[in-house]
Structure 1
């Protein structure tokens, strides 16, 4: 039996609150903590809502606690101290514990680091980039805590949710768990980390591959699809086709400009990618009403699943399960071949996503093209060609942009995000492009330092093109804190 708050259990009240916009941020209501049982609150709402003097906001504040709705930026501003020293202090500021379910916040067995700002829960792929900084800080215990929390979520829910909230239990985020194990191994040189979590790795893999056995050519089930040629690839997905509770009114309004019966699921699937939102997901390259995430096999998730398959093969070998080692090695070999076949665009010398419905690559040029280099899947020639494309089209004075298209969406030009800087930096170093790697590091780091010197804060994202401004776009203001920026900056400048 679930013992966390489920938005569906008080949907009438929830919907009324979101539509009335009584809070500036739609995430406020979904993160509120009920002071009484949901049944009791629902009964009160039913009895009071039609009274002439009924005040919805007052009712909510009487029945829910708004404690810790956000990480107060003012609490963590310390001007005039060196940026690295500031980041070291932030680790404690951003540390949390959740040993029991509290409202929509899910229980976790170990302490963890939150991103900051409005994001005060455990986020999946953010945590990998946080771990990079913890590695530099020598905090191996917190790194292990993050891995243990991911394992707990996988073993209890079948996957790592987008973040540790009940309203995220219909989707994950880019599967970085196997890469997290690599970071622990770098510190400990102990292969037990792989054998210890073999069952967890298998369970996460099952989540991403669920339904593969019964697939027909040209069809998809959940997160797995089969191309017209009979090859297996993966995509981002969400189990629900409803407005996101944390962005309810935004989704309802956006849906009015879409003819797609699965509009909400397409939006949620884009959220599973972590890129919410980008022209990458829009069929016309401009408008969210044309979002078609579900039609695409994406290069990043397939590269990450290749790494998961390779890690499963390694883990099986350590556990002397040689039949499973052979199985996962074969799967990873086939996926590597499929990545080459479906994502590499010889003409424009970039990796693209693949539209399995229309059996062709998409037009969007985006920084996820670097994943095959980040994970050493590409050939040297491909890497050389990609490096040139990155240098010419993606690298600006403030870092690597996410796409070559400006739409006002936050995962488009001109914004530079910490994870992509690390992926780009590592990708170039992997193939010996040291000068380009150093340029990526220098451009972005100087941007981070400039904003820090001006504001005393580390931000969620940065403007790579106009380095005199703060990044914008998206459904909420630019947040500070900020977990993955702290991690990547420390790791790059170690």
Structure 2
């Protein structure tokens, strides 16, 4: 039986008051025990895991599908201490009149949708609609409550729909829109919140929920700092967030120093030639609390495979932001073949190259010239490794690398645009990538995510706002303005047509048949929608 913790009812008070410094010290026998940020984070992740907190109650609620969306239950707020609720559950569940849903409704407060009261007026333009929607997606600094929400000290914006909390990589694209409407103070609040989470946990979680503490998301914090610096004093902003970005880099590179060639540890892979690249990973090997039923069902479909391996790779795919996609599957048609941790992603390594370049500039501003030079060297070494392992000269694209096959995965995806956006590509490489994008990815509504047509939402025929934006800006960087303009005009037209017909800005779109809604995934298409709004405003005005 899973343990529960009565002392964990005020869990978020623990995270907001006790863990307030980058390391804790415990006095014992006149000695000082240093608790590293990594150790501290691992403790928090374990103790705040909803599966630990709610025990068999969570398992029963999720496996019996009390709510159509498993995220509903883990977003509920318990009305009593966890142990008290579990005691009542164990006393009542075997009685004849017991009703599990009624029990949950009695002892938990259900979450609200953040846009419940918003009424769409389609006489407004899409931009006017977005402007009216911002207040409904904005959250004030959080009060500490005994649920799974991690309280943040500043205002932030949620994506919308079922996504009632801040999300890491979504937020960068939301910031693009805030910049266009001149809300610089809210941009800084959001960046401050991410720096706060790095200080608390040693990294930025997937979102500000305790069930997201085992994983991060694509690391866009450096890009956020750059965006904020573009509307402020650059040196001042870079120095303000230098320590936070240093800590985030430590998170992604943990274990690299002592890692032998041909080995992987957590998020770091040292290739046979000694070069370092990164992968997505997870710090737990359990079903996701918010998708418990789905994960257990997936693992049960492959009885010969260790369930923990399935869960690890599912969570790692969630860290990628592409949950789920044929990028991570051995068989493009089957999630049961997921192997995210055995794949070196092109997009992640472009992001980490950017992080290294940003840190080098921060260190230069701080007068740490030798350390800045070391980070420049790390960035250049990564760029060489990307060329060696992730550039497919035969096809003319950047591909993910399969560690088991010791070659490319063979899945062509829009991850290929990241090296263009971040400036890793040569002009010749950019020419080849743009040719493939035009010939294979461009559709009536924009760019499709991959070329594999299956039931996954990060595959054909869906298009996603952040990938459209990165592709457009990456193409522009290498002078491919005509293709970039074509992608932009098609994407904006699709956004506007769907808005006119439905009154909504959606999370994702069908870019192949623009008369059909996007599908796939574990939940219905969501509206709101944070990153769609941000990308739309940026592309419309630039």
Name the TM-score class by shorter chain: over 0.9
* Residue number in structure 1 paired with 2:167: 123
1:116–1:479 CA contact under 8 A, matched in 2: yes
2:109 aligns with one of 65, 88, 91: 65
Matched residue of 1:493: which SS?
A: helix
**Counterpart for residue 305 of structure 2:** 260
> Could you tell me how far 1:219 is from its partner in structure 2?
1.3
Matched, 1:374 2:445: no
Whether contact under 8 Å (2:344, 2:400) holds in the other structure is yes
Per-residue CA deviations over 1:342-400 (Å, capped at 9, x if unaligned) read 10000000000112233211110000000000111100010011001000111101011
Equivalent in the alignment of 1:132: 176
The alignment status of 1:168 with 2:215, answered yes or no, reads no
Q: Which secondary structure does the structure 2 equivalent of 1:301 belong to? A: helix
Take 2:137 and 2:262, find their aligned partners in 1: how far apart are those partners?
45
CA distance in 1, matches of 2:305, 2:357: 37
SS of the residue 1:163 aligns to: coil
2-structure distance, mates of 1:132, 1:203: 24
| In 1: Cα distance, 2:401 partner to 2:349 partner | 11
Cα distance in 2 between the residues matched to 1:438 and 1:104: 43
Match in the other structure for 1:491: 538
1:424 aligns with 471
Matches within 5 A, 1:379-418: 379-418=426-465
The one-character-per-residue Cα deviations of 1:416-445 (angstroms, maximum 9, x if unpaired) are 100001001101110111111110100111
Provide the residue aligned with 2:326 in structure 1. Answer: 279
2:352 aligned residue: 305
User: In the aligned structure 2, how far is the partner of 1:202 from the partner of 1:313?
Assistant: 10
Within the candidate set 64, 72, 80, 1:20 is matched to 64
Equivalent residue in structure 2 for 1:54, among 73, 98, 101:
98
Moved more, 350-359 or 471-480: 350-359
Secondary structure of residue in 2 paired with 1:476 = coil
Give the superposition deviation at 1:189.
Answer: 4.2
Aligned-residue offset at 1:202:
0.6
Instruction: Give the secondary-structure state (helix, strand or coil) at the position aligned to 1:214.
Output: coil
1:191 partner SS: helix
Pairs aligned (count): 493
Residue of structure 2 in register with 1:43 after alignment: 87
Instruction: Tell whether 2:142 aligns with 1:96.
Output: no
TM-score, normalisation: structure 1: 0.98
- Structure 1 residues 469-488: aligned runs within 5 Å: 469-488=516-535
1:203 has 2:247 as partner: yes
User: 3-state SS of the aligned residue for 1:50?
Assistant: coil
The 3 A distance-change label for structure 1 pair 38 and 98 is: farther
Distance in 1 (alpha carbons) for counterparts of 2:499 and 2:250: 42
Equivalent in the alignment of 2:267: 223
The reply to whether residue 114 of structure 1 matches residue 158 of structure 2 is yes
The one-character-per-residue Cα deviations of 1:163-202 (angstroms, maximum 9, x if unpaired) are: 0000000000000000001111121243211111111011
Aligned to 2:29: none
* Distance across 2 between alignment mates of 1:53 and 1:272: 42
Aligned equivalent of 2:22? none
Match of 1:154 in 2: 198
SS in 2 for 1:79: coil
> Which whole-Å deviations, capped at 9, do the CAs of 1:270-318 have from their partners, x for residues lacking one?
0000000011110122100110111011111111011111111100000
Correspondence for 2:44: none
- The whole-number CA distance in structure 2 between the counterparts of 1:22 and 1:77 is 31
Q: 1:295 aligns with which of 342, 362, 365?
A: 342
1:96–1:113 contact (8 Å) kept in structure 2: yes
SS in 2 for 1:284: coil
Deviation per CA, 1:67-94: give whole Å up to 9, x if none.
32x2346624222111101101111110
1:458-473 alignment runs, 5 A limit: 458-473=505-520
Match of residue 348, structure 1, among 392, 395, 400:
395
- 8 Å Cα contact 2:421-2:474 kept in structure 1: yes
Tell which deviates more after alignment, 97-106 or 458-467: 97-106
Shift >6 Å, 4+ stretches: none
RMSD (Å), alpha carbons: 1.2
Aligned to 1:435: 482
TM-score, length-scaled by structure 2: 0.89
1:232 aligns with 2:276: yes
Deviations 1:230-286 (A, max 9, x none): 211100000011111111101111112234320111011000000000111101221
The DSSP-based 3-state class of the residue aligned with 1:75 is coil
Whether contact under 8 Å (2:62, 2:70) holds in the other structure is yes
Name the structure 2 match of 1:84: 127
Partner Cα separation in structure 1 for residue 376 and residue 485 of structure 2:
34
Q: Does the 8 Å contact 1:76/1:90 carry over to 2?
A: no
The answer as to 2:53 corresponding to 1:9 is: yes
State how far apart, in whole Å, the 2-side matches of 1:304 and 1:61 are.
43
**Residue range with higher mean Cα deviation, 85-94 or 171-180:** 85-94
Matched, 1:145 2:189: yes
Could you tell which deviates more after superposition, 213-222 or 241-250?
213-222
Partners of 1:160 and 1:171 in 2: CA distance: 8
